[in-house]
Amino acid sequence: MTSILYIGGTGTISAACVRRSVSLGHRVAVLNRGSGRRPLPPEVELIEADIRDARAVRAALGDRRFDVVAEFLAFTPEHIATDLDLFEGRTGQYVFISSASAYEKPPRRLPVTESTPLRNPFWQYSRDKIACEDVLVGAHRERGLPVTIIRPSHTYDERMLPTLGHWTDIARMRAGKPVIVHGDGTSLWTITHADDFAVAFTGLLGNPAAIGEAFTITGTHAPTWNQIYGWLADAAGVASPDLVHVASDTIAAFEPELGPTLIGDKAHSMVFDVSKVTQLVPEFRTTVTFDEGARRILAYHDADPAAQEIDEGRDALFDRIAAHARSAG
């Protein structure tokens, strides 16, 4: 039995990994502030502390050790420095969740592999993840830190809509209003269900062959964005959604906040070679494609009115972008 400490543990990806670890019989603890977005299995020990408060974490953990520490809440080198102070020497494997958005944008060749250069001049989030990796790789080289780096791409569950407007897009579809799709909708986008991701992730925990290595964990399902929006429309009961295709640069000009995630990631076809992780976790494969994922997303949201959050600002923004695109066309 492997003892695992998840830092976070209730997010889209980490919650699925916690459930999978429990199902495999591991001893699982989760460290967070006690206000998680998803419920924890009853077998999980909750340790309440804010990972940003090192003193509180030390008090909560005492002198405990864990076979694995899985860090889902580190986003800057400063976060990593705190973690190393807290956990180095107290775990046999420190697992850092980086991001596949760290790979060079635009990609010079596909599929992307673990040896693809890490360079993203468009998105600070990605540059920070790269800087985190640099610190960890240096610690591994200099003093043998037992680190494993994980690079997920777009991973979702029934609570997460992958589109620009999230539930606002579904509401617009059902109201017959135009829905904005970046680019021409034909770029390929790898989208992975969290339950599939969890199979690969947990297969690397406690695995000596994973130490000192980086792994891309995505599925092999890479539909176009037109397919993604189309499957959501089908699941929403909308036969002919009004999709308006708009250049990513134009969307970013209307809403700069969307620029980095589009130009620094979603605007490009992204397909990954996951043979490295499947060599260590041969049972890992895509079992949930997005046509099924879309049905699960709509079933969840339709059953819970509280989940049907419409962003009025984003709704108005999409009206302006659609009007601009149609007047320009």
Q: What would the mean pLDDT of 208-235 be, rounded to a whole number?
A: 98
Count of other CB atoms within 10 angstroms of residue 277:
25
The predicted-structure confidence for 267-287, as pLDDT tens digits, reads as follows 999 999 999 999 999 999 999
pLDDT at 81: 97
Q: Which CATH architecture has domain 158-190+221-270+289-328?
A: Alpha-Beta Complex (3.90)
Mean pLDDT of 288-300: 98
The confidence score (pLDDT) of residue 307 equals 96
Q: Is the pLDDT reported for residue 224 higher than 80?
A: yes
Angle between helices 194-204 and 12-23 (to 10 degrees): 60
Helix axes 312-328, 167-175, angle to 10 degrees: 60
pLDDT at 36: 74
Q: Is the pLDDT of residue 35 over 90?
A: no
C-alpha R_g of the chain: 20
Residue type at position 113: T
The domains of the chain are located at 3-155+191-217, 158-190+221-270+289-328
Backbone φ, ψ for residue 188 (5° rounding): -90, 135
The token duo for 140 is 């591994």
Average pLDDT over residues 165-188: 98
Name residue, tokens 């130009």.
Answer: 263
**In this structure, what token pair is assigned to residue 71?**
């860090």
Bridge-partner residues for 4, per DSSP? 28, 68
CA distance 261 to 100: 12
Q: Is the pTM of this model over 0.85?
A: yes
- Does CATH number 3.40.50.720 belong to domain 3-155+191-217? yes
